[in-house]
Amino acid sequence: MSNNKTIKSALISVFSKDGLEPIVKQLDAQGVTIYSTGGTEKFIKDLGINVVPVEDVTSYPSILGGRVKTLHPKVFGGILNRQNNESDVAELAEYQIPQIDLVIVDLYPFEKTVASGASNQDIIEKIDIGGISLIRAAAKNYADVVCVASVNDYAEFLELLKSKNGDTSESDRKLFAAKAFNVSSHYDSAIFNYFNSNHDIASLKISETSGKVLRYGENPHQKGFFFGDFEAMFTKLHGKELSYNNLLDVDAAVTLMNEFKGEAPTFAILKHNNACGLAQRETLHQAYVDALAGDPVSAFGGILISNTEIDKATAEEIHGLFCEVVIAPSFSNDALEILKGKKNRILLIQNDIELPKTTVRSCLNGVLVQDRDNITDALSDLSEATNNKPSKSELEDLIFASKICKHTKSNTIVLAKNKQLCASGTGQTSRVDALNQAIHKAQSFNFDLKGSVMASDAFFPFPDCVEIADKAGITAVIQPGGSIKDQLSIDYCNENNVAMVFTGTRHFKH
């Protein structure tokens, strides 16, 4: 027995009329009876196409300022009836309920209204009732009804109409039902998250309706996916498709460079989510040169990011390095022409959009959610812990190093001098190991650490780190403080003329 159905009647009620005209004309050409309401009804009439007002079916006008239009048994009976059920068919005839084979409906733009900064009253009015009910009803009854719930599906549906002359298979209808429930579940999640913006209810609703299949995950034997609106955040100008690991590195690069937004030209090079080079200079060209000097070995295959437009001189330097991704607010035409010289090199313009306020990661058989670490250590946060006070230039370097430290894997120590990253110890199991790693790395790239500064993501439980740093030539330290043994580190610094400041804020990153 065939499960094919022919569309003979349609209910159309949409907020946005974009893309609707060719569908309406195709339905009319195929002799489909069209029911509609309000603005959609007028739109169809203006096309010169016959349309039956829903009020003629229900014998009720649109009431309560348009809040109630389609919520009626004669509408929902026409959608929810089971065409292979004799009782249902008999009741349709008894109550003069027209069969509806197709529902095209969209929803009030709730998320856009919230994003616009509208008043609570305006937002509440954009909670769709009739539309969401029509979607659920039509999608539930996909055995008999086609539901088109998004303008994004119009082209696919129009092609189906044309290619099959109004016939649909059960698999066709089930696919559109799945798309419809995708729309409705996302809509309800957005409403819940608005009402639960203070997280008074310990419940997590995450919904992303756009996504892409990646070549693979972290390793070739793992499947990988990205869910989110990448195009809202970046304009991709050139290069291959981004991989799972590329995306992780891009995320790390963006969050790090946000610390230097609006500041002097700053350039960073990242590898495996950590900065291996970063410098701030009067010109971007010099910032790049000095960032690369921080670790020219790790920079190979890295992710590059700038806080200002990349110019020709900087692009010429970058072009000599194999790198996966280059990110900037903009590129000059000359720079773009140079950097496009490598066909696989990914070039991204970062758009100015706000990052999510929370971070989410899988954990055990659930997920961990936390507020994003939005505290950036500033001069006003510092308390001087030692008799020896840092100089003006040391204070600038301390804040510079602290920003990098915040975005480096724990345990970490960051060494900097003259607004240049000298080295960092990353992801070590002890703070002493992180410091020794940083010192060894800096020295291996011929950095003179005399007069440099040290940043730590957490407090020092013992004075060993400040002692090692002092002996390496480091003259100023920034750390959260808060250890019951802080005084041991303070005493050592006082006895050896090392300046140390406390921020009061720990910046673990795991």
279 neighbors 266 (Cβ within 8 angstroms): yes
261 is catalytic: no
E strands, 258-297, in order: 266-271, 274-280
Provide the 3-class DSSP secondary structure of residue 110.
helix
Of the residues 272, 312, 319, 340, only one is catalytic, namely 272
Active-site residue (options: 25, 140, 205, 236): 140
Closest CA to 381 of 503, 481, 260: 503
- Distance, CA of 72 to CA of 202 (rounded, Å): 36
The answer to whether the CB of 3 falls within 8 A of the CB of 26 is no
Give the DSSP H/E element, type plus range, for residue 112: helix 110-115
Between the alpha carbon of residue 408 and those of residues 329, 427, 437, 459, the distances in Å are: 23, 8, 14, 15
- Tell me, yes or no, if 272 is annotated catalytic: yes
Q: At a CB cut-off of 8 Å and minimum separation 6, what does 128 contact? A: 107, 108, 110, 187
**Backbone angles phi and psi of 396, in degrees to 5:** -65, -40
Query: Of 247, 218, 212, which Cα lies nearest the Cα of 346?
Result: 247
- Residue pair 314/288 in contact (Cβ under 8 Å)? The answer is yes
The answer to whether the CB of 398 falls within 8 A of the CB of 437 is: no
Is the C-alpha dihedral spanning 409, 508, 503, 462 positive or negative?
A: negative
Q: Degrees (nearest 5) of the Cα angle 207, 211, 212?
A: 155
User: Position of tokens 């403080």?
Assistant: 481
Q: Provide the annotated active-site residues.
A: 140, 272
